[in-house]
Amino acid sequence: MCQQPTNDAEKQPSLHHARRNFLKQTSALTALALAPSVVMKAAEKKLDEKAAGFFEQKTLNIEVNGKAHQLSVEPRATLLDVLRENLHLTGSKKGCDLGQCGACTVHVDGKRVLSCLSLAVMQNGKKITTIEGLQQGDQLHPMQEAFIKHDGFQCGYCTPGQIMSAVACISEGHAGTDNEIREYMSGNICRCGAYPNIVDAISEVAKKGGSRD
Amino acid sequence: MGNYFFDSATVFEELDRVDGKAKVTGQAKYSAEYEMPGLAYGVIVGANISKGTIAAIDINAAEKAPGVLGVVTHLNITKPAGYIAADATKPAAVRGLKVFDDNVIHFNGQPIALVMADSFERATHAASLIKAQYNKETFSTGLEQAMKDEKPLEGNQYKESIRGEKDAWKNAAVKVEGTYTMPNQVHNPMEMHATTVKWEGDDKVTVWEKTQGVKSTQRDIMQAFALTEKNVQVNTLYVGGGFGAALRTWPHAMAALIGAKKIGKPLKVVLTRMQMFTLVGYRPEAIQKIAIGADNDGKLIGMMHEANAVTSNYENFTENIVKMTRALYSCANVTTKYNVYPVELSTPTWMRGPGEATGSFPLECALDELSYQLKMDPIELRLKNYAETDPENGKPYSSKFLKEAYQLGADKFGWKDRHPIPNTMMENGWKVGVGMSTGIFGAFRNEAKLGLKLMADGTLIMQTAVSDSGPGTATAMTKIAADAMGLPYNKIKFELGDSSLPPGPTQGGSSSTSTVGAAVSTGCVTLQKKLAEAAKSSPVFGHIVAVENFLFQNGEMVLKTDPTKKLSYSEVLKNAGMTSIEFIENSGRNPAMEKYSAYSYAVHFVKVLVHPLTGVVKIAKAVVAGDAGKIVSPKTAKSQMIGGVVGGIGGALMEESVIDERYGRWINNNFADYHVPVHADVPAIEAVFVDKPDPILNPVGSKGMGEIALIGFAAAVANAVYHATGKRIRELPITPDKLI
Ligand code: FES
Ligand code: FES
């Protein structure tokens, strides 16, 4: 995708549009625009939920797949939802939203992380790699190639998480034997049951001298 | 026979999944992943009682919450036309639960409101602000209780079926008898159900839906909203697993359609993992009694199989639980009975292997038990009662290679090394046991229309409105067409997942390859005829037009009598002044099938390790041998069989719904508590196939595979556990507590 750092918050016309409408419609806010603390107090007392909503956004600077983003997100938004809904990087999957399935696995500063269990605002200044950022140009990552070769999936929904986990599993040094791979990949559920093929894929990449990260 | 496409001489390389690259790069888009301006997010709020009525519902706080665009409840719903029956004698077009239709609560978690907001976080928060008050009624969610308190449903499908003499088993020399239980199991595909809806005006809608049948979903929406076919577009390019859970248009999808219409914006509704337990079906709990009698040589004298299962209190769900007992073995006297009890749970639905997986557990365990009483090898006992014709109707089989599958699987597994006495084998301090079982499932071919377009550059495009939840339909179809037309894989494109394409079948009941594959196969024959016809204009062939005179290979038509005379498909088109050949192929059942019965078979072999102190059961090895007709795409076929076995490991050892009967609520409604197999639970699994074509069912020679991969597996595990420990476990899942 593009290399230029962009300010996504500024590029989202829909959000802007919503704000303009909001400013137009909410006279209370117009009056209080210069005194946000008053608004916050009003919100605390549930006098104006909508006003509170306006001030919920926080600025977030992250680098995703080599591209810098400045975003405006709610503190309660997970990294997974920000990736999928704000940045439209839907390769990272939501399989449970509870930290139980691994479908949302991404790399944060090179380590595998469950993005559904990570609040986006806590990733400020971090480097994120998602499945979309694993290949280099047209060249698939060896793990992606091995998954195709060994048919390490059926429906493909758990696959991005499996692959991100698999790459990390090798770089962590946990892919010495098939049983070790099974143990360290057990956080990634595949309901289609592609496990034996996934283990074959990881073991082949591990034997070929690991993986490019 | 010689006329299978797979008898052709062309040798193809093993084909990687045609959608593999999209899936490993994150480019494959599932139903919740379509970006559109102004997209709103919908969150379903569920009832927290199990039976009764909503006395009051307060949506005030939710409506005022930041970003909220609207709330739908039974009080403010604009009911779709299909909710109301046009005439009182007929049912309404929308079947099952009509979401937000009234204030009646049938089960815990039933949707009572849809909250829509401009972000997922805001919709989720606002949903938590909905408050409902209820008039509660007494309820029951468990089968055991229902069997004590209630009468089963009545109707033809529940009538006792008697073949021969009813109680013949009782008078046999050798008898086994037992009661087997199985809890509710939940499909839990990794992709949670998602519906994205975009209305254009009041009578035109596009839906991105997780469905195993784009046409059936389209039809449901047409009927619900009284819309024309061309005004309902359903898109399902990728499905993140289904296993049966995406065979219906569920209430949340209707809610999304109703909600999007209300707010006048595109809307996306995604279920939570917890909602996946209550809103999209499950395999119903079953308590089954089985009894088998045999003579001293192991010949079956009589069988009795009674199954009891649950359904919801608003819809009758039935499946083939006892059919396998009537169909698998040659036995003159078989009595079966199927009882269904309504409880306060949502409607169950077909789950991989459906009823046959449930019914095979007692049947195949009982056969095993009988084999020990007879001191006979379990395979030998099965061969002794091998059905050469269908025991239900005496018809011959279109094909049956079950004997070959027993042999193939036994060899691959090393069955001959089995010690015949249970509780005798040990390895590294673990008890060792081996077990086997048989699975059977009907083989079907349904109707399909397939669009074929041979383009000027020699590319073949095929289109049909099916969706693929994982088996790899497009991959298998590419193989069939490549073989038939002598085209390289990269010259073939199979398009699916779009309701505007020629109508295809729903992906279910293991029939996709047979049904769509047949259309591809006969479609390619038609295409060859059309090419031969077009070749008239090519002087090189001397105006020969009869298709029999040509070979179709390497993207070329070759004259059989003089192979130096050949033309590429592009040249044929060019010479004929055509830019493409386009037509729709209609494919249906083979009328000759009337005279035959068709089944697929699987034989499962399992080696388990049982820890003597803790009772932990580990699957050490599994081999599945299939008779699924001709194997179209060996690579994806193996994966599908292995996947079925993995599903089987779940059912055998860990999957169990736990419902708190005081509240009627699922307790373990997430992956931390509802255990499914993970990497560490699954050993290397081998899938092998007899790989012989069925000459009658369809021109590809294939039978079904998705279901048999799982049917019988739980019994093989239970049998292996018996072999390891001498304990017969009749209650799934086989958790350690049952073995200590
Ligand atoms: S979605 Fe994050 S672990 Fe399941
Ligand atoms: S490929 Fe479907 S869940 Fe893993």
User: Ligand 1 centroid vs A101 CA: distance in angstroms?
Assistant: 5
Q: Answer whether B241 contacts ligand 2 (Cβ < 6 A).
A: yes
The reply to whether residue A54 touches residue B121, judged by beta carbons under 8 angstroms, is: no
The answer for residues whose C-beta is within 8 angstroms of residue A20's C-beta and 6 or more apart is none
Q: How many CB pairs under 8 A join A and B?
A: 198
Does B67 reach chain A within 8 Å, measured CB to CB? yes
Looking at beta carbons, which residues of chain A come within 8 Å of B351?
none
Chain B interface, best mutation among A94, A105, A132, A143, by max B CB count within 10 A = A94
B153 part of a folded domain: no
Q: Which two tokens stand for residue B54?
A: 């909503």
B321 part of a folded domain: yes
Do B324 and B336 belong together in one domain?
yes
Percent above pLDDT 90 for chain B: 91
* Amino acid making up residue B269: V
Q: What is the pLDDT of residue A21?
A: 43
Q: Can you give the CATH number for the domain in which B197 is found?
A: 3.90.1170.50
Do B301 and B203 belong together in one domain?
no
Q: Tens digit of pLDDT per residue, chain A (213 long)?
A: 333 444 444 344 444 444 334 434 444 444 444 444 544 454 444 555 555 566 678 999 999 999 999 999 999 999 999 999 999 999 999 999 999 999 999 999 999 999 999 999 999 999 999 999 999 999 999 999 999 999 999 999 999 999 999 999 999 999 999 999 999 999 999 999 999 999 999 999 999 975 554
* Range of weakest confidence among A3-17, B33-47, B146-160, B215-229: A3-17
**Would you say the C-alpha torsion B201, B204, B206, B212 has a positive or negative sign?**
positive
Does B27 reach chain A within 8 Å, measured CB to CB? yes
Q: Answer whether A158 contacts ligand 2 (Cβ < 6 A).
A: yes
| Distance separating alpha carbons of residues B205 and B99, to the nearest angstrom | 19
Three-state secondary structure call for residue B126: helix
B512 part of a folded domain: yes
Q: Which atom of ligand 1 is nearest to the CA of A99?
A: 3
The reply to whether residue A163 touches residue B37, judged by beta carbons under 8 angstroms, is: no
The reply to whether residue A157 touches residue B643, judged by beta carbons under 8 angstroms, is: no
Q: How many CB atoms lie within 10 A of CB B2?
A: 4
- DSSP string of A154-192, one letter each residue: SS-SSHHHHHHHHHHHHHTT--SSHHHHHHHTTTS--TT
Of B226, B260, B277, which marks where a domain is finished? B277
Q: What is the pLDDT of residues B98-132, one digit of tens each?
A: 999 999 999 999 999 999 999 999 999 999 999 99
Distance of CA B148 to the CA centre of its chain: 32
Q: What is the pLDDT of residues B147-179, one digit of tens each?
A: 999 999 999 889 999 999 999 999 999 999 999
User: Ligand 1 centroid vs A103 CA: distance in angstroms?
Assistant: 5
Q: What is the pLDDT of residues B533-553, one digit of tens each?
A: 999 888 888 877 789 999 999
| Distance separating alpha carbons of residues A164 and A147, to the nearest angstrom | 12
B152 part of a folded domain: no
Q: Which atom of ligand 1 is nearest to the CA of B671?
A: 4
The reply to whether residue A193 touches residue B677, judged by beta carbons under 8 angstroms, is: yes
Does B673 reach chain A within 8 Å, measured CB to CB? no
Nearest to B120 by CA among B228, B15, B337, B272: B272
CA distance B164 to chain A (A): 42
Return the active site residues of B. 707
Q: Does residue B695 surpass a pLDDT of 90? A: yes
Do B603 and B573 belong together in one domain?
no
Q: Answer whether A195 contacts ligand 2 (Cβ < 6 A).
A: no
Q: What is the pLDDT of residue A213?
A: 47
Q: What is the pLDDT of residue A30?
A: 44
- Counted domains in chain B: 3
The reply to whether residue A191 touches residue B188, judged by beta carbons under 8 angstroms, is: yes
CATH of A56-132, one of 3.40.50.12780, 3.10.20.30, 2.40.110.10, 3.40.50.300: 3.10.20.30
Q: What is the pLDDT of residues A88-127, one digit of tens each?
A: 999 999 999 999 999 999 999 999 999 999 999 999 999 9
Q: What is the pLDDT of residue B512?
A: 82
Q: Whose CA is nearest to atom 4 of ligand 2?
A: A190
Q: Answer whether A193 contacts ligand 2 (Cβ < 6 A).
A: no
Does residue B263 contact residue B40 with C-beta atoms inside 8 Å?
Answer: yes
Q: Answer whether A41 contacts ligand 2 (Cβ < 6 A).
A: no
H/E stretch holding B638 reads helix B634-653
Q: Which two tokens stand for residue B611?
A: 């820890």
Provide the domain limits for residue B71.
40-137+192-239+246-277
Where residue B511 falls among pLDDT bands split at 50, 70, 90?
confident
Do B406 and B464 belong together in one domain?
no
| Distance separating alpha carbons of residues B707 and B515, to the nearest angstrom | 16
**Would you say the C-alpha torsion B134, B137, B143, B145 has a positive or negative sign?**
positive
Strands of B562-634, DSSP E: 566-568, 580-587, 599-610, 617-627
Q: Answer whether A154 contacts ligand 2 (Cβ < 6 A).
A: yes
CATH of A134-213, one of 1.10.443.10, 3.50.50.60, 3.40.50.720, 1.10.150.120: 1.10.150.120
Using CA coordinates, name the residue in chain A closest to B468.
A155
CA distance B652 to chain A (A): 15
| Distance separating alpha carbons of residues B65 and B67, to the nearest angstrom | 6
Q: What is the pLDDT of residue A34?
A: 43
Beta pairing class for B232-235 and B267-270: unpaired
Q: Which two tokens stand for residue B712?
A: 């019988």
Where residue B9 falls among pLDDT bands split at 50, 70, 90?
very low
Backbone angles phi, psi at B559, to 5 degrees: -75, 125
Q: What is the pLDDT of residue A10?
A: 39
B177 part of a folded domain: no
Q: What is the pLDDT of residue A27?
A: 42
The reply to whether residue A183 touches residue B679, judged by beta carbons under 8 angstroms, is: yes
Q: How many CB atoms lie within 10 A of CB B579?
A: 9
Three-state secondary structure call for residue A135: coil
**Mean of all residue pLDDT scores within chain B:** 95
Q: What is the pLDDT of residue B544?
A: 78
Q: Answer whether B612 contacts ligand 2 (Cβ < 6 A).
A: no
Does residue B379 contact residue B418 with C-beta atoms inside 8 Å?
Answer: no
Three-state secondary structure call for residue A1: coil
Do B440 and B459 belong together in one domain?
no
What do you get for the CA distance between the two ends of chain A, in Å?
A: 18
Do B615 and B695 belong together in one domain?
yes
| Distance separating alpha carbons of residues B509 and B329, to the nearest angstrom | 22
Do B421 and B550 belong together in one domain?
no
Looking at beta carbons, which residues of chain B come within 8 Å of A186?
678-680
Tell me which DSSP letter residue B348 carries.
P
Do B309 and B260 belong together in one domain?
no
Backbone angles phi, psi at B494, to 5 degrees: -110, 115
Do B452 and B553 belong together in one domain?
yes
Tell me which DSSP letter residue B12 carries.
P
Torsion of CA B580, B584, B589, B591, to 10 degrees: -80
B173 part of a folded domain: no
Q: Whose CA is nearest to atom 3 of ligand 2?
A: A190
Chain B interface, best mutation among A39, A87, A98, A157, by max B CB count within 10 A = A157
B 611-650 residues with CB below 8 A of A? 635-636, 638-640, 642-647
Chain B interface, best mutation among A1, A98, A195, A211, by max B CB count within 10 A = A195
Q: What is the mean pLDDT of residues B387-400?
A: 96
Q: What is the pLDDT of residue B509?
A: 73
B398 part of a folded domain: yes
| Block residue for tokens 């193809």 | B12
Rg of chain A in Å (alpha carbons): 21
CA distance B168 to chain A (A): 42
Tell me which DSSP letter residue B631 carries.
-
Do B353 and B322 belong together in one domain?
yes
Do B72 and B19 belong together in one domain?
no
Does B272 reach chain A within 8 Å, measured CB to CB? yes
| Distance separating alpha carbons of residues B589 and B591, to the nearest angstrom | 6
Instruction: Pick from A155, A163, A195 the residue to mutate for probing ligand 2's pocket: most ligand atoms within 8 Å of its CB.
Output: A155
B176 part of a folded domain: no
Q: Which ligand is nearest to the CA of A156?
A: 2
Looking at beta carbons, which residues of chain A come within 8 Å of B470?
154-156, 192
What do you get for the CA distance between the two ends of chain B, in Å?
A: 56
Q: Which two tokens stand for residue B440?
A: 């059977």
Measuring from each residue's beta carbon to the nearest atom of ligand 1, which residues come in under 6 Å? A 94-97, 99-104, 114, 116
Cross-chain CB nearest to A156 (options B16, B192, B238): B238
pTM of the model: 0.93
Q: Which atom of ligand 2 is nearest to the CA of B190?
A: 3
Nearest to A115 by CA among A84, A137, A72: A84
Using CA coordinates, name the residue in chain B closest to A163.
B24
Here the contacts of A42-48 (C-beta below 8 Å, separation 24 or greater) are none
Do B609 and B473 belong together in one domain?
no
Q: Does residue B196 surpass a pLDDT of 80? A: yes
Q: What is the mean pLDDT of residues B653-678?
A: 96
Of B571, B588, B605, which marks where a domain is finished? B588
Widest distance between CA atoms in chain A: 67
Using CA coordinates, name the residue in chain B closest to A156.
B23
Q: Can you give the CATH number for the domain in which B496 is found?
A: 3.30.365.10
Percent above pLDDT 70 for chain B: 98
